[in-house]
Amino acid sequence: MTERNALGRVVTLAVFAGALAFPFLASGYRLYQGAQVLIDVIALLGLNLLTGFNGQISLGHGAFFAIGAYGAAILVVKLGLPYWLAIPIASAVCFGAGFLFGFPALRFGGLYLALATFALAVATPQLLSYNGFNAFTGGSQGLTLTRPGAPFGLLLSGDQWLYLFCLLWTAALYWAATNLVRGRVGRALIAIRDQPIAAESMGVNAALYKTTCFGVSALYAGVAGGLSAIVVGFVSPESFGLPLSLSFLVGIVVGGLASLGGALFGALFIEFVPNLAAQLSVNFGESAMALPGAIYGVLLILVMAVMPTGVAGAMRAALGFVRRNFAA
Amino acid sequence: MSEFLHQLASGLALGGVYAILALALVMIYQATQLVNFAQGEMAMFSTYFAWKLMDSGWPYWRAFAATVVVSFFGGLIIERVVVRPFAKAPVLASIIVFIGLVLIFNALAGWLYGYSIQEFESPFSGRPWFGNVYMSAHESGAVVVSLCVLALVYGFFRFTPLGLAMRAAAQNPTSSRLVGIRVGWMLAIGWGLAAAIGAVAGMMAAPIVYLDPNMMGGVLLYAFAGAVLGGIDNPFGAAFGGFAVGVLENLVGAYVVGDEVKLSVALAIIVGVLVWRPSGLFGRRLVARV
């Protein structure tokens, strides 16, 4: 194991230790926000596998997030399944949906894929509130779930348990993503992104990798959506529109394209900037509603211009600088 | 039957708006092989500008003309300041920058003009034209304005030296530069023109969809669908596609899926065309050199 790898592991473990300690230090709304950050981390990991590593842009990941959320909500509310079983099932459905969307996506170049997923993002709220599905989706009213408490008689509050439940999923999916990216599959994904023709002539089955990558990415979004339905206790069509999809894009760009650790920065960012704006709007009135959009927009352009590798890349560069200049 | 004709006619009116917005998209696509996702929000912002002018007492057509001119320069400046630095960046970076512009314009409009829905005046009011019972005066006017814009754009590119230079710059930048065309400026002017056309689209759409910061989301999506349907590298195709999508959207919305899921018609058109005929109805089939 090289020195660099060792350092990375130490940092990762420290972050997880901190995340594990968090529910015993904070409570109430902070804990709820913590769970939201973890959910965003999962969604961003998924989108980053697709966009950052495989180079397929998606402006419509909110749609897969919505399938996960609605899937979990329907399984729990309408079919009476336990929530911990609903999430894997809903995310498997998401994998299928992503895989199927990945097929036409094969034929789209980068730009067309952006167009198609943009259309998906814009159309999602309308489809969710479609009257024909009212019996399942509750129409524009949405569905309400009861928040589960801690199982096995654990001495945890509901908030603490849900946070830890999200952390468990986050840790497992982060571990899965790092292994996926480091191995043969990750190299194939990156090769397809950078040199599609060379990759194919090396025997990489680009079509299979790309569709599967779309499916896995949708699965991540689905898990995040399912967790969000359970943590928030409510799903409604309007929360899964274009703004959600775009905030995921903002998250991976700010955190760092093709950086798994960057997902944490991205998630913190997209969770707390709107929060900040909501607090400011108490003082500044309605015009503060414009703040998240303005900050997102300016940052998207600035990050692409100044540090295309995002916060994670900037930190890596800073670390490298320190090591080169100050290490013995 | 009269209900059907009515739906058809109002489809044509919005179709005209989609057609000119699709034309604006195609203009930028031809020069840069990129689709400007911010086209709709830029048009929305221009429309707010016109609304503000009229609110302060300007007559409609003067506000209209001022808005078109200001939008032209606005588009030009955006190209020079924001888009130019990414000219050589990968597609992904450009798309992210466009999304950034979308968010900025949306936020700016909300901040400057508020999020409440506003009425937007139409210059064509009163009795329906030519005894046409199927279209309101504004709808007829919007169709006429759209056709005028299409004719003007055609005339500009076909008959003026500047239009010729712009076509040359889009088709073969290297050779154009060698014969003395300032390719960079042609691109900037293209962005300006697209923004000006978008402003017209916004002002024609606003009396129908009402004015608010999110008004162009759906309109832009239909314009995308129109451009893809007609062939994204073909201005005539895009204009035809825009009208076709307007009519289709209205008819399918009224008779097949219901009004409340109309946006998925655009999704279906985009995905369907890209799967079965990626070059659109009139587009050139692209063959890439390996």
Per-residue pLDDT of chain B (290 residues; tens, 9 = 90+): 778 888 888 888 889 999 999 999 988 888 888 888 999 999 999 999 999 898 888 888 899 999 999 999 999 999 999 888 888 888 888 888 998 999 999 888 888 888 888 888 787 776 666 666 677 788 888 888 999 999 998 899 889 999 899 989 888 888 999 999 998 899 999 999 999 999 999 998 888 888 888 888 888 999 999 998 988 888 888 899 999 999 988 888 888 777 777 888 888 888 888 888 877 788 776 666 65
Q: Taking CA atoms, what residue in A is nearest to B37?
A: A115
Query: pLDDT grade, residue A222 (50/70/90)?
Result: very high
Cross-chain residue pair A249–B225, CB shorter than 8 Å: no
Residue A322 in domain: no
Cross-chain residue pair A127–B261, CB shorter than 8 Å: yes
Distance of CA B277 to the CA centre of its chain: 22
Q: Is the dihedral of CA B146, B150, B153, B156 positive or negative?
A: negative
Using left for φ > 0, alpha for ψ between -120 and 50, and beta otherwise, residue B141 falls in alpha
Residues of A with CB below 8 A from B44's CB?
none
Using left for φ > 0, alpha for ψ between -120 and 50, and beta otherwise, residue A258 falls in left
Residues of A with CB below 8 A from B224's CB?
115, 118-119
Q: Is the dihedral of CA B222, B65, B44, A140 positive or negative?
A: negative
Distance from CA of B228 to the nearest CA of A (A): 9
Tens digits of residue pLDDT in A28-51 = 788 888 888 999 999 999 999 888
At A234, phi and psi to the nearest 5? Answer: -160, 135
Asked whether residue A1 carries a pLDDT value surpassing 60, the answer given is no
Instruction: Name which of A253, A242, A287, A292 is nearest A271 in CA terms.
Output: A292
The answer for B 22-41 residues in CB contact with A (under 8 A) is: 33-35, 37
Distance from CA of A44 to the nearest CA of B (A): 16
Task: Quickly count: other Cβ atoms within 10 Å of residue A127's Cβ.
Answer: 20
Q: Which of B100, B101, B107 sits opposite A290 (nearest CB)?
A: B107
Mutate which of B29, B35, B92 to disrupt the A interface (most A C-beta within 10 Å)? B92
Residue A248 in domain: no
Residues of B with CB below 8 A from A242's CB?
217
- Residue B266 contacts A where some CB pair is shorter than 8 Å: yes
Residues of B with CB below 8 A from A294's CB?
103-104, 107-108, 111
Distance of CA B276 to the CA centre of its chain: 25
Query: Which domains are seen in chain B, by residue range?
Result: 2-120+133-276 (1.10.3470)
Place of tokens 């198609």: A116
Q: Taking CA atoms, what residue in B is nearest to A118?
A: B221
Cross-chain residue pair A107–B275, CB shorter than 8 Å: yes
Residues of A with CB below 8 A from B223's CB?
none
- Mean pLDDT of all residues in A44-69: 89
- Residue B155 contacts A where some CB pair is shorter than 8 Å: no
DSSP state of B118: B
Amino acid sitting at position B148: C
> Tokens representing A139?
């129409």
Residue A185 in domain: yes
Tens digits of residue pLDDT in A266-286 = 888 888 887 777 777 777 766
Residue A186 in domain: yes
CB of B129 closer than 8 Å to CB of B140: yes
Residue A299 in domain: no
Mutate which of B95, B108, B117, B262 to disrupt the A interface (most A C-beta within 10 Å)? B95
- Mean pLDDT of all residues in A96-105: 84
Query: pLDDT grade, residue A216 (50/70/90)?
Result: very high
DSSP state of B126: S
Residues 6 or more apart whose CB falls under 8 angstroms from that of A319 comprise none
- Residue A314 contacts B where some CB pair is shorter than 8 Å: no
Asked whether residue A114 carries a pLDDT value surpassing 80, the answer given is yes
ipTM: 0.85
Domain that holds residue A53: 3-241
Cross-chain residue pair A300–B37, CB shorter than 8 Å: no
Tens digits of residue pLDDT in B34-47 = 888 999 999 999 99
What is the residue-averaged pLDDT of chain B?
86
Task: Give the ranges where B33-57 is alpha helix by DSSP (H).
Answer: 39-55
- Measured CA to CA, the distance from residue A115 to residue B228 in angstroms comes to 9
pLDDT at B31: 83
Asked whether residue A328 carries a pLDDT value surpassing 60, the answer given is no
- Measured CA to CA, the distance from residue B41 to residue B54 in angstroms comes to 20
- Measured CA to CA, the distance from residue B30 to residue B43 in angstroms comes to 20
Residues of A with CB below 8 A from B97's CB?
300-301, 304
- Residue B150 contacts A where some CB pair is shorter than 8 Å: no
Q: What b/e readout covers A167-179, taking b as 16+ CB neighbours within 10 angstroms?
A: bebbeebbeebbe
Q: Taking CA atoms, what residue in B is nearest to A128?
A: B261
Torsion of CA B141, B143, B145, B148, to 10 degrees: -140
- Residue B179 contacts A where some CB pair is shorter than 8 Å: no
What are B118's strand-pairing partners? B211
Residue A214 in domain: yes
What is the end-to-end Cα distance of chain B in Å, rounded? 54
Residue A145 in domain: yes
What does the H/E/C string look like for B135-198? Answer: CCHHHHHHHHHHHHHHHHHHHHHHHCHHHHHHHHHHHCHHHHHHCCCCHHHHHHHHHHHHHHHH
Beta-strand (E) ranges in A86-243?
143-144, 234-235
Asked whether residue A202 carries a pLDDT value surpassing 60, the answer given is yes
Amino acid sitting at position A266: G
DSSP state of B285: P
Report the greatest alpha carbon distance in chain B.
59
Mutate which of A289, A300, A307 to disrupt the B interface (most B C-beta within 10 Å)? A300
* Rg for chain A, CA atoms, rounded: 20
Q: Is B244 buried (19+), middle (13-18) or exposed (0-12) by CB count in 10 A?
A: buried
Helix B2-32 and helix B39-55, axial crossing angle in degrees, nearest 10? 110
Distance from CA of A276 to the nearest CA of B (A): 15
Residues of B with CB below 8 A from A289's CB?
110, 115
Task: Quickly count: other Cβ atoms within 10 Å of residue A42's Cβ.
Answer: 31
Tens digits of residue pLDDT in B200-257 = 999 988 888 888 888 888 889 999 999 989 888 888 888 999 999 999 888 888 887 7
pLDDT at B67: 94
CB of A106 closer than 8 Å to CB of A207: yes
Torsion of CA A154, A158, A161, A165, to 10 degrees: 140
Residues of A with CB below 8 A from B85's CB?
305
- Measured CA to CA, the distance from residue A52 to residue A45 in angstroms comes to 9
- Mean pLDDT of all residues in A303-317: 80
Q: What DSSP string describes A228-285?
A: HHHHH-EE-GGGGSHHHHHHHHHHHHHH-TT-STHHHHHHHHHHHHHHHHHHHHHHHG
How many folded domains does chain A comprise? Answer: 1
Amino acid sitting at position B278: P
Residue A230 in domain: yes
Cross-chain residue pair A249–B99, CB shorter than 8 Å: yes
Distance from CA of A116 to the nearest CA of B (A): 6
The answer for A 257-276 residues in CB contact with B (under 8 A) is: 257
> Tokens representing B85?
């630095």
Cross-chain residue pair B103–A300, CB shorter than 8 Å: yes
- Mean pLDDT of all residues in A189-208: 83
- Measured CA to CA, the distance from residue B36 to residue B52 in angstroms comes to 25
- Residue B279 contacts A where some CB pair is shorter than 8 Å: no
Q: Which of A59, A115, A286 sits opposite B115 (nearest CB)?
A: A286
Residues of B with CB below 8 A from A300's CB?
96-97, 99-100, 103
What is the residue-averaged pLDDT of chain A?
83
DSSP state of A155: S
pTM confidence score: 0.87
Question: CA angle, corner A325, sides to A324 and A327, nearest 5?
Answer: 75
Cross-chain residue pair A111–B95, CB shorter than 8 Å: yes
- Residue B92 contacts A where some CB pair is shorter than 8 Å: yes
Q: Taking CA atoms, what residue in B is nearest to A140?
A: B260
Task: Quickly count: other Cβ atoms within 10 Å of residue B260's Cβ.
Answer: 16
Distances (CA, A) of A11 to A8, A14, A18, A186, A316: 5, 5, 11, 22, 12
Tens digits of residue pLDDT in A138-179 = 777 778 777 777 777 677 777 788 888 889 899 899 988 888
Distances (CA, A) of B124 to B44, B140, B141, B204: 20, 8, 6, 10
